[in-house]
């Protein structure tokens, strides 16, 4: 049984990925700052990944207890701000949480994958990396994670390890529902920018992640799969 580690998985996309992988009979190891509102479908560790030392400690603990075959780097921070309102401190906070834990995880868990000549890394990026108002930090961070994906895919191609990214568009998570309440004008405006005419579901992102993790996807690496209802392609005018 393959064992996959997911960061940021107590709710939303991360939790949907955990449930989907569990249903596919994978062993799921999760890390989240808070407890899940539902029973987590695997083993859930609690840590604040915005703290570098705490991140290192939890990764080391997991390494001692489990053989990790793949990593899904899902933990993220957005903090929308127009450039006039953006502080350097906020910028660094967003860049740090979106990038550093992925690098720490790779340094700790990749040696085991290299020994086995098999491994999977899936980085959860965002359609926002293509540009979005008030997303200077977040867009830059997710674009950086995409660049890391491409670089690592070449670095580990000879080790049987694939590195890919899934880039969601607007997904109906708890966080989005709080910011864009159902039937609100703000939500209607958001949906109007999506060619598919609706928000995505967390399970649709999970399905894309599972594709990259599959044994049969070993010839696919360095790729970014947009799960965004066509938003990365353009707009549809009726």
Supply the residues annotated as catalytic. 138
User: 236: how many CB neighbours lie within 10 A of its CB?
Assistant: 12
For the record, the structure tokens of 222 come out as: 């360095």
The answer to whether the Cα torsion of 228, 233, 235, 237 is positive or negative is negative
User: 19: how many CB neighbours lie within 10 A of its CB?
Assistant: 19
Euclidean distance between CA atoms 23 and 117, whole angstroms: 25
Q: Are 10 and 33 in contact (CB under 8 A)?
A: yes
Q: Are 56 and 49 in contact (CB under 8 A)?
A: no
Euclidean distance between CA atoms 238 and 220, whole angstroms: 36
Alpha helices in the chain (DSSP H): 12-23, 52-65, 88-116, 136-155, 174-179, 185-192, 202-213
Q: Are 236 and 195 in contact (CB under 8 A)?
A: yes
Of 44, 51, 56, 57, the residue nearest 7 (C-alpha): 44
Question: Which residues have a Cβ under 8 Å from the Cβ of 209 and sit 6 or more positions away?
Answer: 17, 20, 21, 72, 122, 124, 166
């Amino acid at each position: 049984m393959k064992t996959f580690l997911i960061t940021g998985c107590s709710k939303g996309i991360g939790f949907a990925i955990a449930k989907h992988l569990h249903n596919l009979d994978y062993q799921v190891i999760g890390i989240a700052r808070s407890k899940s509102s539902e029973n987590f479908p695997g083993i859930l560790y609690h840590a604040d990944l915005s703290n570098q030392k705490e991140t290192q400690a939890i990764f080391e603990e997991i390494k001692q207890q489990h053989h990790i075959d793949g990593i899904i780097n899902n933990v993220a921070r957005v903090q929308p701000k127009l450039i006039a309102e953006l502080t350097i401190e906020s910028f660094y906070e967003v860049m740090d949480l979106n990038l550093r834990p992925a690098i720490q995880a790779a340094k700790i868990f990749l040696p085991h994958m290299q020994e086995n000549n098999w491994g999977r890394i899936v980085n959860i990026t965002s359609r926002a990396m293509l540009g979005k108002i008030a997303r200077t930090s977040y867009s830059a961070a997710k674009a950086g994670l995409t660049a890391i994906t491409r670089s690592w895919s070449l670095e580990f191609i000879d080790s049987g390890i694939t590195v890919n990214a899934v880039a969601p568009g607007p997904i109906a998570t708890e966080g989005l529902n709080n910011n864009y309440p159902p039937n609100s004008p703000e939500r209607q405006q958001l949906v109007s920018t999506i060619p598919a005419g609706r928000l995505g579901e967390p399970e649709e992102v999970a399905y894309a992640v599972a594709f990259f993790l599959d044994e049969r996807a070993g010839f696919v690496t360095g790729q970014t799969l947009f799960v965004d209802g066509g938003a990365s392609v353009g707009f549809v005018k009726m």
